[in-house]
Amino acid sequence: MNNIGKSLTLIVILAASLCPLTAEAKTALLVTHYGSSDDTTRTLTIDKITADIRSALPLLEVREAYISPIVLRNLAKRGISVESPVDALLRLRVEGYDTVFVQPTTMIDGIETAEVRKFADRVSPFFGLITVGQPLLDSPADCRALVSILEELPSRTGEAVVYVGHGNDRPSTATYTQLDYMLHVGGRSDCHVSTIEGYPTAQTTLIELKRDKKIRNVTLVPLLLVCGNHTKNDIAGEFADVIRSAGYRVDILMRGLAELPAVRDLYVKKALTLVGSH
């Protein structure tokens, strides 16, 4: 917790002792993003997710916070103020909100999603109710919904499309394999799903690409909300090099996933479901 969080904690403790929770206390929704230091992609993606959720819940106070300490520090150096989840939650309590719904915009149930839950647990004694929603891909139905969007991207003759996500070293990285399988059984054998730091890998995806001898061109599409450093440095860098080394021509679609309105709609539905469940 940073200095702001420590100060707010003391204020919350004092406020809670003077103003106990009442039935008249207020309700809010906090949207937690990993965050991005890139102004352009942030405006096109996560800013729009928050705006879309705010439009869908006009009677609810909607705030946002960034999970990544690195992003928060980078933005602070440039005079851009965004709160961490803990700071944002404590500020809400100071302002009289005793019921808070927290909707993460994480893709899978990985490290960042676990962090959000930990943040919420840390401050939960100050609230009447604080509950955390699910990441984008929490169930087979969620994966099917995203696949229905991904499979709409057309490909040319002799071209394969590879969606590249982040991935991790935890069981939740299997979500990307599920997406890959769903695309294939849905008839898009020209589409593949891979990861930067999980499974499938660039090498295993290369094996899949080689099964179709007609493929000469490969388009890499970020399976990431924002088009930031991971796209520019990892996907367009090392991942693309692995594919090129096998003789393929590689193009990169420089687009964050949340630039697609249909993807942002999935997050809006998550938030509506979270609020409607209580």
C-alpha distances out from residue 223 to 62, 107, 156, 250, Å: 26, 9, 20, 16
The pLDDT assigned to 15 comes to 53
Radius of gyration from C-alpha coordinates of the chain: 20
Report pLDDT digits (tens) over 81-105: 999 999 999 999 999 999 999 999 9
Q: In the Cβ-directed half-sphere of 218, how many Cα atoms lie within 13 Å? A: 31
pTM for the full predicted model: 0.89
pLDDT digits (tens, 9 = 90+) for 174-211: 999 999 999 999 999 999 999 999 999 999 999 999 99
In the three-class reduction of DSSP (H, G, I as helix; E, B as strand; rest coil), residue 74 is classed as helix
| Residue 102: partners with Cβ closer than 8 Å, 6 or more residues away | 29, 30, 32, 85, 89, 116, 120, 130, 131, 132, 133
Tally DSSP H helices, then E strands, for the chain: 12, 8
Q: What pLDDT was estimated at residue 277? A: 82
Confidence of residue 14 (pLDDT cuts 50, 70, 90): very low
